[in-house]
Structure 1
Amino acid sequence: MITELLQLYERIQRVINTDEPFARRRIHWAIDLDKHGEVISVSPTISRNTDGKGKTKEVLGKEYRCPAAFFLKLRNTNVVAAAGGGNIPPELMSGKPLQIFGEEPVVKKDRQGNVLEKKVKKAETGTPKSNHQAFLDLHDRFLASLPPEQTQEAEWTALRMFFEKRKGIPFNAFSDQNLAQLTKDQRFSFRINGRLLLQHPQATGWWRDEIKKQRESVRQCLPQGRDPFDPATDDSVLSVRFPHIQGVPNGGGYCPIASFDKAPMQSFGLGEITMPLGLETAEKVSAALNWLLSDETSYKRMGDAVVVFWAVDKSAANSPPQALNFGDLLSEADPLQVREFLNNAWGGYAQFPETSKFHAAVLSSPQSRITIRSWHTETLPQAVAHFRKWLGLTSLLNQWGDEMPIAIGQLAACTVQKGKNSKPLPRTYTELFEAALFGRPLPSRLFSAALQRQGLELVKGCDKKTRKEFEERLRARTALIKLHFELNNRGGGITMENHTSQKDSAYMCGRLLALLDKIHVEAHKGSGGTNSSPANRSYAAASTTPALIFPQLCKLARYHLNKVGGGWANCLEHGYEAETGEQVEGLKQVVVRLQDAAGGTFPRTLSLEQQGRFAIGFYYERCRNWPHAKKKNIVTSDEKHN
């Protein structure tokens, strides 16, 4: 992975340069100052983002090229990380409220978002106070470095007077609407006469020289050694810390991809010098990874994990990586996007030769350290082929007859209890991602979890308010169960088109339960419906011990058919010929098919694999279309069902 990231850096070094101490930062607020350093207003910066469906929305915060701190610093004669442990390295002309004002905002709101109370938490002692003082000291050094003829310029006079006043967070400079959006982790910058000071040439030039001096002083104290990723150099300056990687969920203020000072990296009495990585190598790797995490076409967050991916043409060493839309299709694709991708096997990837490489990694951040949960590389055509198969398998009909794609987030969520405090494990996203783009078999634990949730959630049922979510979770579990059979080569190929021709006994049991459930619903439709049906009461028993429960359910079906009455009851029981000439199976035909498949009786027990086939048969039967019957089948208008 390190090698591939170094190669990526070589392709994008025109965009990013590790020698340039600047980075893209999201600035949320601009502090407008008058010539006396008084705050005129605090204005939000707004950017426009486009989601996977092409919709544009405004969000608070806009990215600017900002001065960025060097990731190492000297403490006495030791080289340590500049950030971490609550320390926030100061950066010129931008910072968080704690750094600039010496206090953090605490804004309480009601459910409608109206501000109820505003107060501050002051940085009086310890690390918070040190962060504020470090920010002031940095700007004092900058202002003191200005030539005499520039010290009286309006920008720097106003900035100096602002810091001298130390008035705290100017709540009165916010509008009520803006104040409701204020948090302690947002970044501020200064604006005078309509110009952001972080873009002032005097500020950027001074910062470039300042970081150059700091970096050189740190280099003098770093150990010498051999960098395995730079074989041309026998004696490299080795880094004892790794740069911060931003954009990983729960990453914190300092989140390295490798920890040199932790137990797994320390051995043989060498202390922290056990992972020889050159300073320049570490900077290039982190720069490439941060670039991926800032490009919306190269990453996608999934729960507490984030996926980065890119494709390169190996035959063109200097070509930049190609933008991919895998992220949107995995997480929030709409049916039109999926259909377009499936109908056009290559789409925007057609210009790549078959040797083009596709790389992907899944990252998470437990305890402020990045964990590489998965790393894969293969040719782009292979990845596209796997992905097309995945999208085809996860696009299922819903209860209303619409074929909709199912996002990885939905597949992960359906394996755990729904609720704010119940989240899928990061490895669940990893396993699903590996299956989607690399064709990896799904682990059996996801299959078992889907079956377990199936029984529990069907027992609970749903009301009108929660029906849509109930149906979506049922659809996601069915897709996950289908993926188990397809990707693990356990006999798949089941679709709505061949649904009625399946002969597996467990599958037929699932069909039968869904049909009995439909008959029950039809019988109670005139009385306003019921929350208790065969699927609610008996799914767990029917999917594990069919012989114990189905005889009772079939007896109840006779009562329900009599209650339905008329030609529609006859159609439900005996089937009918549709207007298109299709023979629509009813209860009688399904029971006969089941008897033929099971040897004349209901199966006594079903294994886990059989329970999975039961679940697929149950879902497809629930979604089966009941077309209009031919006129010879006398069915009233109220009895026609789709």
Structure 2
Amino acid sequence: MDHFRTVSDTSVVCWAAKNHPLETLLPFIFSDSPRDDPDRNVRAVTTLYASLHNGTYQGAGATERFYLLGLSPNAARVAIRFWLVGTVADFAQRLWQWLDDIELVGARDLPGRPALKTLLRSTALLGKEENLPPHWVGEVVRAILSGSPLPTALLTGVLNRIKAESGAVNDYRAALIKAWLNRHFRQQKLKGVTVSLNLEEDRIGYLLGRLFAALEKLQTDANPGLNATIRDRYYSSASCTPKAVFGTLMRLHTHHLKKLDRPEYRIAAQNRIQEIVAAITDFPAHLDLAQQGLFAIGYYHQRQDFFTKKTSTQGEAA
């Protein structure tokens, strides 16, 4: 059934008062592509995104009524998780906002907007859908479809999974964090998070994440073939209680600088780190949840920037 999709324990059914393409396009935002046509969802997302202009649906049937029903099991019964009513234009705009919120440099699924199932599995133990906490999956779906802030439990879950895996901030987890932060900041009328590295971003969590990535790169440049980096040992504490660990990390960085075998590499690495440190007035004792999210995004953005540099020599971004 093209109008029906299941995410964890939540089943979503949608329909329009009159037949409309959004009835079949919307479910692809949430589900995996079929194995016999792995690009099907990408095409559907591209079609939907192309039908919107600055977040506004201007196609035929924009004022038609559109309905969304969320169902989940409850003992021997089926419970209504949510019931949303609006126009085609309303829901198209909310989907555009979601796709815009999760867009991120380096995302592996073209056009950079993975399906919700793929994103959520990245937060689960062993990457298995059955290990997702059912109580917040439904809330995530409802938030997307209603245009509301995402539940705090989602950000907590993503950050906990990253810490449990020694700072593994992959594309999918970073996209979820970016979406959570943007919706949180939008509600507070604060500036959002950019798609790629933002050199003008001055929030402390983001700066510390960038600094951590720069220190890690220095360590790996100074020790080629290193099996474990500062990320494996220090990511969790650096992202939660920076004051307790950044003193140690900054002392380590002077040792790593000395191991670089060419002066120009040493100067480039030092300048890169000092540029970030210059914007940091103090290392806080504790970062709140939103700042921990910014730490993850700063770390991710800075690493992606290193990876996309064309220079591949030691001491320069590979």
Matches within 5 A, 1:553-632: 553-566=249-262, 567-574=264-271, 586-594=272-280, 598=281, 601-625=282-306, 627-628=309-310
Residue 341 (1) aligns with residue 48 (2): yes
CA distance in 1, matches of 2:248, 2:151: 36
Is the Cα–Cα contact under 8 Å of residues 373 and 427 in structure 1 kept in the other structure?
no
Which letter maps to 2:243? A
1:514 aligns with 2:196: no
What do the CA deviations read for 1:484-536 (whole angstroms, capped 9, x no partner)?
222232434211456111111222111111111121222222xx2212x1221
Name the CA distance, whole Å, in 2 between partners of 1:393 and 1:553: 33
Cα deviations across residues 571-604 of structure 1 (Å, max 9, x unaligned)? 2222xxxxxxxxxxx111011122xxx3xx3222
- For 1:306, what is the secondary structure of its paired residue? strand
Cα distance in 1, alignment partners of residues 107 and 71 from structure 2: 36
For residues 607 and 502 of structure 1, the distance between their equivalents in structure 2, rounded to whole angstroms, comes to: 17
CA distance 1:592–1:353, shift in 2 (3 Å): closer
> Which string of whole-angstrom CA distances, capped at 9 and with x for unpartnered residues, describes residues 442-481 of structure 1?
122222222222222226xxxxxxxxxx56xx33332222
Q: Deviations over 1:110-131 (max 9, x none)?
A: xxxxxxxxxxxxxxxxxxxxxx
Q: Distance in 1 between matches of 2:57 and 2:284?
A: 50
Root-mean-square deviation (CA, aligned residues, Å) is 2.9
**TM-fit CA distance, 1:325:** 0.9
Cα separation, 1, equivalents of 2:32 and 2:127 = 20
Q: Following the alignment from structure 2 to structure 1, what is the Cα–Cα distance between the partners of residues 246 and 178?
A: 24
Identity level (%): 25
Contact kept, 8 Å, 2:91 with 2:145, in 1: the verdict is yes
Q: Which one of 87, 102, 113 corresponds to residue 394 of structure 1?
A: 102
Structure 1's unaligned 5+ residue stretches are 1-294, 314-319, 460-469, 575-585, 630-635
Q: Which amino acid in structure 2 is aligned with residue 565 of structure 1?
A: D
**Other-structure match for 1:326:** 26
**How many Å apart are 1:343 and its aligned residue?**
3.4
Are the equivalent residues in 2 in contact too, given 1:335–1:404 (CA < 8 A)? no
Counterpart-to-counterpart distance in 1, 2:223 and 2:6 = 45
Report the residue type matching 2:309 in the other structure.
P
SS in 2 for 1:603: coil
Name the CA shift for 1:497/1:479 in 2 (closer, same or farther; >3 Å): closer
Local SS of the residue matching 1:512: helix
Distance 1:400 1:382 in 2: 29
When residues 335 and 620 of structure 1 are mapped into structure 2, their CA distance, relative to the original with a 3 A threshold, is: farther
- Higher strand proportion: 1
SS of equivalent to 2:132: coil
After TM superposition, the score normalised by the length of structure 2 is 0.83
Question: More relative contact order in 1 or in 2 (CA 8 Å, sep 6+)?
Answer: 2
Q: Which amino acid aligns with 1:482?
A: K
Instruction: Give the Å deviation of 1:310.
Output: 1.0
Contact 2:149 2:180 in 1 (8 A): yes
Which residues of structure 2 form unaligned runs of 5+? 34-40
What corresponds to 1:373 in structure 2? 81
From the CA coordinates, give the structure whose radius of gyration is larger.
1
- Give TM-score, length-normalised by structure 1: 0.43
CA distance in structure 2 between the aligned counterparts of 1:476 and 1:400, rounded to whole angstroms:
9
Letter in 1 for 2:247: P
Name the SS for the 2:84 alignment partner.
strand
SS across alignment from 2:85: strand
Residue identity in the other structure for 1:338: V
Alignment of 1:258-337 (within 5 A): 295-296=1-2, 298-313=3-18, 320=19, 322=21, 323-332=23-32, 337=44
